Homo-oligomer: A and B are copies of this chain.
Amino acid sequence: MSQKNNEAVRMIPLGGVGQIGKNMMVLEYGDEMLIIDSGVMFPEDDQLGIDLVIPDFDYVKKNKDKIKGIVLTHGHLDHIGALPFLLKEINVPIYGTKLTLGLLEGNLKEHRLMKSSRLKVVNAGSTVQVGQFKVDYIKVNHSLTDTCALAIHTPLGPIVYASDFKFDQTPVDGEVADFHKLAELGHSEPGVLALFSDSTNVERKGYTMSEKVVGETIDDIFYRATNRIIVATFASNIHRIQQILDAAVKYDRKIAITGRSMTNNVEIARRLGYINVPDDMIVDIRDMGHIADDETVIITTGSQGEPMAALTRMARGDHYHINIKNGDTVVISASAIPGNEKFVGQTINQLFERGANVIYEDVSGVHVSGHASQEELKLMLNLTKPKYFVPTHGEARHLHQHAALAEDVGVPKENTYIAELGDVIEFREDKVEKVDKVQAGDILVDGLGIGDVGNIVLRDRKTLSEDGIIIVVVTIDSNGNIQSGPDIITRGFVYIRESEKLIEDATNRVKDALEECEEKGITEWSVLKKTIKNSLNNYIYKQIKRNPMILPIIMQV
């Protein structure tokens, strides 16, 4: 490394701060850059019809040639899901653990990008050189196994990037987090330059419970169940799935897997050795009918009440192979992601209505979070003893709470930086500050369109969704004389059958307004359109207190 010691290290968040999702960070030192993660976010309620949200890659595109590689922390979609879009812009080596890259492969294959991608496996506990940067992969616990924190070494000291972690003292695979490495970084010289740490659960006191506790609860449920058992969980929660499989084997129940992502992930995890279960315990879901109910378990997707997922279909009564019946035990081994509460609640209600005994997070210990609670966050701060601190993986409320927590632990207030998307955060020996702002934000993906849905389209969708649309069509000749119409067509507004009078009156109002124009000799289309709108807007609102979109269309023959 040829740079002088007093040069600055810069970090630029393109996602994951001020929001939970689409995690992505650019690290700069000298002439080289590194990308950390590149994830998607699921759309907010008001982003109507949007499928995915990805980071704005403008800054990456402008600095294409400086980027030496992409380092991944783990395989959740909010960390790897935007890579298929990013790889259309740049092609650099991608580093990650075996399972991370295993999960990424599936994603890349769907986008036909597998062949052109350069994937490099890194084991937890080892170090990889990317350009001028040495990057340590440090084992941490999370709801997805093979997750790592990263220490990226710079002449000013290492940046520790611990987005998504918890400390589980009794993990399912027996591998605790690499406390020693974190401690070593903490008392190295010149010490950790900056810590970027997970703020998701900063509002929770104490420690996040061990995954083992969930295993015990699941074991207990299996012990008591006298009929069929159906368990829904996140398809990526490999340890959870292993614990369900263990219980199935212990109580001698054959296992069927259903739901596309569940089937895929179990297949990947078994192939890579992250899941162990005897072959003869797994059966095809179509053969479940031949086995006694008390000798079967179904592991399924749908823990979020997603409309098309397997458990949701069962609850609704339209799953191909499984009919929920009296005496079934259904376990939802997950918590509702914010925004999904209503969907999950509806699924639980429907399962109860079909006679199932439903066991879910609110009433039992069938789930633990994958993120660190307050005491673990403090431990991370105390182990790494960073000079600067940047709370990450959180909305504004989480970042502010995390900043306050760091202050409690002894990080001076001025050494904590609460970031916004696109901030160019510069770390120097004597201070951290924002030195610039680059283009960053949410790019909306709708079907195959990337970024072609923006505020105007969304505003229209919102208006349409609330009160529908009234279309007024009128045909005029070149002299401006009406040849046919005005005709009124509505969608999403009222039941026409019950509102014939309203539509008739509205049509007459438009007719009167247009005739007035005709008499006055007004023929400009823009004026005619405005006249049509004005004649309806107030009238409709007065009559029925709704504000549908009014769309005048003039055809000339």
Contact = CB atoms under 8 A, between A and B. Distances in A.
A93 B147 CA distance: 66
Interface stretch (A124-132, A427-435, A467-475): A467-475
Interface in A511-553: 543-546, 549, 551, 553
Given A342-B45, A464-B468, A471-B551, A456 B495 contact: yes
Nearest to A451: B498
A350 B396 CA distance: 8
Nearest to A498: B452
Nearest to A486: B555
Nearest to A447: B545
A460 B258 CA distance: 32
A349 interface: yes
A538 to B, nearest CB: 14
Nearest to A454: B495
Given A471-B553, A475-B484, A485-B555, 8 more contacts: A49-B468, A447-B546, A449-B545, A452-B499, A457-B493, A457-B494, A460-B491, A489-B551
Contacts of A338: 341-342, 345
A413 B468 CA distance: 48
Interface string A144-156: 0000000000000
B465 A461 contact: yes
A395 interface: yes
Given A345-B395, A549-B491, A468 B461 contact: yes
A400 B345 CA distance: 13
Given A342-B338, A483-B557, A484-B555, A448 B48 contact: no
Contacts of A467: 49, 446-447
Given A339-B342, A363-B203, A454-B495, A465 B352 contact: no
A396 B347 CA distance: 10
A44 to B, nearest CB: 7
Contacts of A471: 471, 551, 553
A227 B469 CA distance: 49
Contacts of A546: 49, 446-447, 449
B473 A491 contact: no
Contacts of A487: 553, 555
A208 to B, nearest CB: 15
Contacts of A491: 460, 464, 469, 549, 551
A105 to B, nearest CB: 23
A193 to B, nearest CB: 26
A280 interface: no
Contact of A494 (B203, B452, B465): B452
Contacts of A395: 345, 349
A173 interface: no
Interface in A2-59: 18, 44-45, 48-49
Given A339-B342, A491-B460, A494-B457, A473 B543 contact: no
Contacts of A544: 446-449
A220 interface: no
Interface string A331-365: 00000001101100100111011000010001100
A341 B345 CA distance: 14
Given A466-B49, A467-B49, A453 B489 contact: no
Given A464-B465, A553-B489, A352 B400 contact: yes
Point out which of A358, A469, A483, A492 has the most chain B C-beta atoms below 10 A from its C-beta. A492
A270 interface: no
A542 to B, nearest CB: 9
A475 B348 contact: no
A187 interface: no
Contacts of A49: 465-468, 492, 546
Nearest to A48: B465
A397 B460 CA distance: 37
Nearest to A455: B495
Contacts of A396: 348-350, 352-353
Nearest to A497: B452
A333 B539 CA distance: 41
A452 B502 CA distance: 12
Given A349-B396, A352-B400, A556 B484 contact: yes
Point out which of A352, A362, A458, A498 has the most chain B C-beta atoms below 10 A from its C-beta. A352
B464 A557 contact: no
